[in-house]
């Protein structure tokens, strides 16, 4: 492991915390990470097994969350405040997002030629909007409270050198999502490999998404929707139809952004390579097909299908 030996210190300056084992819950604001956060609060054995030392909870804002997710963030802020536990929601105004990636919509709409997320393109939004701000804020917190350096992940290396152990990061993938886990032998950023211990408690405990939903209900908390961006290119046709029914303004904005991208690139790419969100189709075509398939569903049935999960599967 690469560490900075100069990070070792013999005393703790006034106003700083003594270096200690740290566990951080990477909170995605969806069903699984919400259930895991509640379990860490309500179940001492879960806390003891998975979160030794100090527990931090950090969530990063994509700037393109659905209304129900934004409401859930406010609920979580109130919950963590009421129980006196750490919680941070990192929004773009706090300086941990890049200017280019202030939000998914901002990324799509800025630049010389406008863009759109597509199933045909490599996924980069998870890193840019969730993981990068998460780790930047974590390093800044370590600098503020423990006195390590801040910038280019030096602080993470220094903190690991001071404590002699990697920082544990809890990730809320449920048991049926084991394929989302990155194998330790896969290529990852050096600072993650050297400074971070990724742990997947729900998978280790055999808890499914439905188990998470039931646990949330059992503790008297409101139901939580799966968390995904309003303009996520990895939505299913059902998700497109659901959005057109319950969030029509957001759907129309998505259609507009897709059309802008196709127009800006029409002279630069052959038509067969100028992709929208779904390869070979534009969103209104996807909606027409989805309406044929799901149009007979009641609002209640649509809501239950939405709450049961979705196909977005980032890996980390």
Would you place residue 107 in the very low, low, confident or very high pLDDT band (cuts 50, 70, 90)? very high
- Domain 5-11+19-218 classified CATH 3.10.620? no
How high is the pLDDT of residue 188?
81
Whether 20 contacts 52, CB under 8 Å: no
Q: Which residues, in sequence order, are CB contacts of 219 under 8 Å at separation 6+? A: 38, 42
Distance CA 96, CA 134 (A): 8
Could you count the other beta carbons within 10 Å of the beta carbon of residue 43? 13
Residue 10 reports pLDDT greater than 70 = no
Per domain, the residue ranges of the chain are: 5-11+19-218, 237-307
pTM of the model: 0.89
In the sheet that 88-90 helps form, which strands lie side by side, from edge to edge? 88-90, 54-60, 22-26, 167-171, 196-199
Distance CA 175, CA 281 (A): 34
Residue 45, token pair as written in the block:
């054995």
DSSP-derived 3-state class of residue 84: coil
Would you place residue 112 in the very low, low, confident or very high pLDDT band (cuts 50, 70, 90)? confident
Range scoring the smallest mean pLDDT among 93-97, 151-155, 311-315: 311-315
């Amino acid at each position: 492991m690469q560490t900075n030996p100069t990070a070792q210190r013999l005393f703790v300056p006034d106003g700083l915390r003594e270096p200690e084992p740290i566990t951080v819950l990477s909170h995605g604001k969806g069903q699984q990470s919400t259930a895991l956060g509640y379990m860490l609060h309500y179940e001492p054995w879960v806390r003891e097994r998975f979160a030794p030392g100090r527990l931090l909870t950090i969530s990063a804002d994509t700037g393109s969350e659905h209304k129900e997710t934004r409401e859930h963030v406010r609920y979580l802020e109130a919950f963590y405040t009421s129980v006196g536990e750490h919680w941070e929601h990192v929004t773009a105004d706090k300086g941990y997002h890049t200017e280019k990636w202030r939000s998914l919509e901002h990324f799509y709409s800025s630049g010389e030629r406008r863009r759109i997320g597509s199933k045909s393109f490599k996924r980069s939004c998870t890193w840019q909007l969730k993981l990068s701000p998460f780790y930047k804020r974590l390093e800044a917190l370590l600098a503020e409270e423990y006195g390590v350096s801040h910038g280019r992940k030096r602080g993470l290396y220094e903190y690991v050198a001071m404590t002699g152990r990697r920082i544990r990061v809890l990730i809320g993938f449920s048991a049926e999502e084991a394929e989302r886990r990155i194998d330790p032998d896969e290529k990852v950023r050096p600072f993650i490999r050297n400074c971070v211990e990724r742990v997947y408690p729900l998978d280790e405990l055999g808890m499914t998404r439905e188990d998470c939903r039931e646990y949330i209900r059992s503790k008297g908390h409101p139901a939580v929707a799966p968390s995904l961006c309003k303009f996520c290119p990895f939505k299913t046709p059902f998700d497109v139809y659901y959005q057109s029914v319950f969030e029509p303004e957001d759907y129309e904005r998505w259609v507009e952004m897709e059309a802008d991208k196709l127009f800006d690139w029409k002279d630069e790419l052959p038509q067969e390579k100028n992709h929208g969100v779904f390869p070979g189709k534009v969103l209104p075509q996807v909606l027409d097909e989805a309406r044929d398939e799901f149009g007979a569903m009641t609002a209640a049935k649509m809501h239950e299908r939405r709450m049961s999960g979705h196909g977005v599967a980032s890996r980390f």
